[in-house]
Chain A
Amino acid sequence: MNTGKESTIKWPDLGDPERLEQIIDIIEKEGKIDRDLIRPDATLETLGFESIDVVLILMGIEDKFDVYLPMDDDLAAATNLAEFVAAVGEAAKAESLDAQVAGK
């Protein structure tokens, strides 16, 4: 994993290292980008992601973790991959789908 050695921005702690790897796998596959470019400080803009790429990545994460990811403040505000992974990783680990749907 490339941890972005020239930047102070780190990947978020998702509690489970495997979950981060799984999310990066999905970003690579659905975003159709070189894995070396998937760094925590990489911005969605510099990666050339368009909204459709983000949608495909989110779909991949939903299917992998069986969750629904609404566009909330954190996800909407994410500008780099660290923030993006933090936003989706939080949702992916926090709630099972049933708990999510049952409402809070």
Chain B
Amino acid sequence: MMKVGITGMGAVSAAGIGVAPLWQHVRDGVCAVRPLDMPRGESLRVRIAASVPDFTPEQHLSKSQLMFCDRYAQFACVAAAEAVTQAGLDGVELGGPRTAVIIGTGSGGLNTMDEGSYLFYRGERSHHPMSIPRQIPSTGAASVSMAYGITGPCFSIASACSTASQAVGLGLQMIRAGIVDRVIAGGSEAPLTPVSMRGWELLRVLTPDHCRPFSKGRRGMVVGEGAGVFVLESEDAMAARGAKPLAWLAGYGTTSDARDMIQPDVTGASVAMETALADAGLSPEDIGYINAHGTATVRNDINETAAIRHVFGDYADRLPVSSSKAVIGHALGAAGGLELAVTVMAMRESTVPPQINFLEPDPECNLCLPLDGPEQKEMRAAMSNSFAFGGINACLVVTKTD
């Protein structure tokens, strides 16, 4: 089977623009959650978010891109550019029909919809003339395809919090199937609108203060935003241009609970992890670190712990697990992308990022949590989990290059 490498990574997150600040914040346990002050958001009860700081789209995008790109698509373009640059691909190699773009989003252009609805219902006619393309969930992917002349398959995936992981996983499968040689894959999300935040409040999964994954006393997640995008390439395509991967994208597993829209399921999560391990040809003991979904909701963390325990057995006693959501919030459709970038960096740097915001152990979350800062650890493989509303689970496994 054709091996697939990750040759470039790009990120926009609450830590700033780039994989470097993302990794620095997560590795050093520096929380990037900040107060949320939105116009028209005065009645919100939860006033924190992991928002992207100081993002000036004019610095990164062309005039045409600015016309068509909602904030979510802007993030996608910026993250894709970083990944393409790191991969060392010029336009000629990347363009054409043998490359695909799969950049998903949970909700698409929410800011555009929010602004347009507000103006229209107030009786104003100053609607953005490109509001339809701006709110379409595939505009992020389409903008990236246009930026590099990529004429192969181009589409978006929408599977809530598993979006980015599924996009990357499907990219892996498309390269293995010989459909394309390269894929720009990932997820992006810009969900911070007053109405959307009210919706999250009503789901009662938000904490009003601190996101505390796997800790006793956890009360929920913090909404984040950003994008995580990767360049995936076949071994042959890399060899043809003398490129070396940052990591091998070795395994992907995805399942659907087919049970409950909101409550998680141990079996669905377990089978996703087992499938990803089998796909990578690895046994549980080969995994050196799990970047957990770890939303810090009461239910997710219990469920994920049970699933990890089911898959890894007693080895889970010494298998480090941490959730980056305490640092960068839950970036929804982008989360799996940002967290895969963290997972790759952890493996490359032989450093397990810590679990921050921890109060005290929860017997139902009895995992090996690195609580005393970053830990040095050699690892040959690592795993990233994503579990979404709708019962959609996705798990990715990366392995180290020689």
What is the interface of chain A, defined by CB distance below 8 A to chain B? 51, 55, 58-59, 62, 67-73, 76, 97, 100-101, 103-104
Contact = CB atoms under 8 A, between A and B. Distances in A.
A96 to B, nearest CB: 11
A68 B206 CA distance: 10
B217 A55 contact: no
Given A101-B45, A103-B209, A68 B201 contact: yes
Given A55-B204, A101-B47, A72 B219 contact: yes
A71 B220 contact: yes
A70 B204 contact: yes
B297 A71 contact: yes
Contacts of A67: 45
Contacts, number: 54
Given A55-B202, A97-B45, A103-B209, 19 more contacts: A51-B262, A55-B204, A58-B204, A59-B202, A67-B45, A68-B45, A69-B204, A70-B204, A70-B205, A70-B208, A70-B220, A71-B298, A71-B299, A72-B219, A72-B298, A73-B298, A101-B48, A103-B210, A104-B209
A100 B207 CA distance: 10
12 contacts: A51-B262, A51-B263, A70-B206, A70-B219, A71-B219, A72-B298, A73-B217, A101-B45, A101-B47, A103-B48, A103-B209, A104-B209
A103 B46 CA distance: 10
Nearest to A56: B202
B216 interface: yes
Interface in B188-208: 201-208
Interface in B367-391: none
A73 B298 CA distance: 6
Contact of A68 (B203, B208, B217): B208
Nearest to A102: B209
Contacts of A58: 204
Contacts of A59: 202
Contacts of B203: 55
A100 B45 CA distance: 9
Contacts of A71: 204-205, 219-220, 297-299
Interface of B: 45-48, 201-210, 216-220, 262-263, 297-299
Given A51-B262, A55-B204, A103-B208, A73 B45 contact: no
Contacts of A69: 204
DSSP majority for the B interface?
A: loop
A33 to B, nearest CB: 21
Contact of A100 (B208, B210, B217, B262): B208
A104 B206 CA distance: 15
A62 B297 CA distance: 19
Nearest to B364: A73
Contacts of B46: 68, 101
A69 B208 CA distance: 9
A104 B357 CA distance: 12
A60 to B, nearest CB: 12
B280 to A, nearest CB: 34
A70 B222 CA distance: 12
B38 to A, nearest CB: 14
Contacts of A76: 298-299
Contact of A73 (B207, B209, B216): B216
A97 to B, nearest CB: 6
Contacts of A72: 217-219, 298
A100 to B, nearest CB: 5
Contact of B207 (A51, A55, A70): A70
A58 B45 CA distance: 14
A99 to B, nearest CB: 10
Q: Which of A58, A101, A104 has the most CB of B within 10 A?
A: A101
B191 to A, nearest CB: 18
Contacts of B299: 71, 76
A103 B210 CA distance: 7
A55 B220 CA distance: 16
A101 B208 CA distance: 5
Please name the 9 residue pairs, one residue from A and one from B, whose CB atoms are nearest each other, closest first: A103-B209, A68-B45, A70-B219, A76-B298, A71-B204, A72-B219, A70-B220, A100-B208, A101-B47
